[in-house]
Structure 1
Amino acid sequence: MTRLRIDLAYDGGGFFGWARQPELRTVQGTIEDALHKVLRVPADDADEPLRLTVAGRTDTGVHASHQVAHLDVSDDVLARCMGHMNVSVCEALARRLKAVLPTDIVIHRVSVAPDGFDARFSALERTYVYRVADRSSEVDPRLRGCVLRVDEALDIDVMNQAAAMTIGLHDFGSFATPNPGGTTIREVKTAYWRRIPAAPLVPDGLSMDEAYRTPSLESGLLVFTIVADAFARNMVRSLVGSCVKVGSGRKSLDWFAGKMAKPAREGSSGPIAPQGLTLEHVAYPADDQLASRAEAIRAVRTLP
């Protein structure tokens, strides 16, 4: 049996989230169906289920520019993807998946996972980015699927004061949907808002007529970046939605602070629309620390 690491990306707009669901198009279901096809394994084969474990389950409409999953597969089944290709078995599988997957999923790389690797539990941290076009910026129509348009002028300074409250180990029960038997305690390592400077795509050092200085697609957008060891369900979108309410003046910083101090799920701190959210990066420790990290993170956390 071999454990594979699969690095991938997807446009979440056409999927009902990551996790496989009956009769619905999901990222996991689409990739697993492709694996069964290229490895010639019947979908109901109990001995070779071909099930993916992912670093972070994204919700309906949420994107990933760098997602990580692992797959356990027997060596004889894996060898079926080789055919006449004179490449490694991992490269052969990657090529065959790319040939059958839809264009809204991209396989970056398939590799043999190091000993102790678990895509979910070995991860040190995940980085999510949420992109907003407020009244002070304009969204390029080509980005409409990954940027949320807000018809308000947002105060980035106030929003950063709210974001700073989230850094550290907290119970994010006001901003997350708990899983039965789980916890909403998470450690946020950094969280901040910034406005992307209006800048040309062409470097400033080049001598070029202004008419040919192609503008950067993201110029002027408000971008929220948050890094944490893990995220509870709807946590990032709820934090973004609450920051936007504070930035627009509809809610106060004291309100946000109260939500942080007393975790209680209710409607005013619910999730904002999904299309602005992208999983950008998943970080892992050195290979010799993968197993111990996975063991430690499985423990249910509590606050000091």
Structure 2
Amino acid sequence: MADEVADGFVRVRLDLSYDGKDFSGWAKQPSGRRTVQGEIEAALRTVTRSPTNFDLTVAGRTDAGVHARGQVAHVDLPREVWAEHEEKLLRRLAGRLPHDVRVWKAARAPEGFNARFSAIWRRYQYRVTDHPGGVDPLIRSHVLWHDWELDVEKMNTAAALLVGEHDFAAYCKKREGATTIRTLQELWWERGADGVVTGTVRADAFCHNMVRSLVGALLYVGDGHRDVEWPAKVLAARVRDSAVHVVKAHGLTLEEVAYPADELLAARAVEARNVRTLPGSAAGGGESGDGCC
């Protein structure tokens, strides 16, 4: 299994952040497009002077344009490579990586750690402004402009009806063999002193387009185009609804990934791979740890 580190290797946890504006998402692509994974793996290969690539496993595979402040990944390095580079790895990576991606911490991971499957939740935030003048130019790459005034109280009323374990098929881009059952632990909105409205979304995992679809539905409630019960009705239908707008990626940031106590890491990784079903539903394929936005 992926949680078993091969003999002679050390599993290293990397804590990192990036501005997603100029990336085609996290995952490497055969097209050769610029990705976060590709940049970090290339930098690792260079600073360790390795003839081979060291593959990264990430907590949440973000889409093109999505940012991350608290992303987590792991990489398995030969023991002798880690011993040689451990103390100076961060500084060397800082000198090799482009300025829109940073690794803030590199430490030997505890036994059983898997950046993707050991995670117990991921927390995203989506930022939007309804100011009639548009978005502050200094934050335009991280905040969506919504050209209608938003009622945050109505958005929170609608959001509360979506929290819990549900089949989020209506808000996800279906992937063959993957379940769309998720546990949405937190979903709420707050308007800051600067007028920016921030949505906080936390779940054990997310399926493809889930966060941006939920945001799109709640913006329709906030601007009065839909009533507060509409997002929950869409959810209950369990069918992808063309009326749900997937908002642009640049307003979304992965803020934090949480893990259990060290002694529970391996058990959590096994649990996350289990197929989940709702009472009275047929079993669906796929693991629960496939994070996306």
TM-score, normalised with respect to structure 2: 0.89
**Given that residues 137 and 220 in structure 1 are in contact (C-alpha distance below 8 angstroms), is that contact kept between their aligned partners in structure 2?**
no
Q: Give the SS at the match of 1:157.
A: helix
Matches within 5 A, 1:62-101: 62-81=66-85, 89=86, 91-101=87-97
1:9 and 2:5 aligned: no
Query: 1:303 is aligned with what amino acid?
Result: L
Q: Which AA in structure 2 matches 1:192?
A: W
**Offset of 1:140 from its aligned partner?**
2.5
Partner Cα distance (2:128, 2:253) in 1: 12
| Equivalent position of 1:28 in the other structure | 37
In structure 2, list runs of 5 or more residues that go unmatched. Answer: 1-8, 280-293
- Quick one: distance in 2 between partners of 1:186 and 1:161? 20
**What is the rounded CA distance, in whole Å, between the counterparts of 2:133 and 2:240 in structure 1?**
32
Amino acid at match of 1:4: V
1:56 aligned to 2:60?
Answer: yes
Q: Which residue of 1 aligns with 2:207?
A: 232
Paired residues in the alignment total 270
Name the structure 2 match of 1:212. Answer: none
CA contact (8 A) 1:7 1:108 kept: yes
Partner in structure 1 of residue 183 of structure 2: 187
Q: Calculate percent identity across the aligned residue pairs.
A: 50
Shift of 1:80: 4.7
- Runs of 4+ aligned residues of structure 1 deviating over 2 Å after TM superposition are 76-81, 135-140, 251-255
Q: Structure 1 residue 137: deviation in Å?
A: 8.1
Letter in 2 for 1:115: E
Which structure 2 residues correspond to residues 88-127 of structure 1 after superposition, within 5 A?
Answer: 89=86, 91-127=87-123
Q: In structure 1, what is the equivalent of residue 3 of structure 2?
A: none
In 2, Cα distance between equivalents of 1:79 and 1:100: 20
Deviation at 1:238, TM superposition (A): 0.4
> Secondary structure at 2:16's aligned position in 1?
strand
Structure number with greater Rg is 1
Tell me how far apart the structure 2 counterparts of residues 147 and 24 of structure 1 sit (CA, whole Å): 24
Question: Could you tell me whether the CA contact under 8 Å between 2:186 and 2:202 is conserved in 1?
Answer: yes
CA distance in structure 1 between the partners assigned to 2:276 and 2:94 by the alignment? 39
* Structure 2: distance between partners of 1:128 and 1:154: 20
Residue pair 1:4, 1:110 contacting (<8 A) in 2 also: yes
Give the secondary-structure state (helix, strand or coil) at the position aligned to 1:259: helix
User: What's 1:156 paired with?
Assistant: 152
Deviations 1:119-140 (A, max 9, x none): 0000011110000011368633
Shift of 1:251: 2.2
The residue number in structure 1 matching 2:282 is none
Question: How far apart in 2 are the matches of 1:266 and 1:15?
Answer: 28
**Alpha-carbon shift at residue 270 of structure 1 (Å):** 3.6
Aligned partner of 2:21: which letter?
A: G
Q: Secondary structure at the match of 2:94?
A: helix
Q: Give the gaps of 5 or more residues in structure 1.
A: 82-88, 199-218
Q: Is the 8 A contact 2:131 2:195 kept in 1?
A: no
| Aligned counterparts of 1:287 and 1:131: Cα–Cα separation in 2 | 33
Q: Which amino acid letter does the alignment assign opposite residue 77 of structure 1?
A: V
Q: Is the 8 Å Cα contact of residues 71 and 255 (structure 2) preserved in structure 1?
A: yes
Residue aligning to 1:210: none
- For residues 137 and 231 of structure 1, the distance between their equivalents in structure 2, rounded to whole angstroms, comes to 33
Deviation for aligned residue 1:76: 2.2
Q: After superposition, give the CA deviation of every residue in 1:24-64 in whole Å (9 maximum; x if it has no partner).
A: 0000011111111111122xx3xxx4000000010000000
Distance 1:179 1:71 in 2: 26
Instruction: Measure the CA separation in 1 of the matches of 2:84 and 2:108.
Output: 16
Give how far 1:100 is off: 0.3
Counterpart among 39, 58, 63 of residue 48 in structure 2? 39
Counterpart of 2:5?
none
Q: TM-score, normalised by structure 1?
A: 0.86
Give 1:156 deviation, angstroms.
1.0
Contact preservation (8 Å) 1:137, 1:221? no
Pairing 1:276–2:251 present:
yes
Taking the aligned partners of 1:111 and 1:137, their CA distance within structure 2 comes to 45
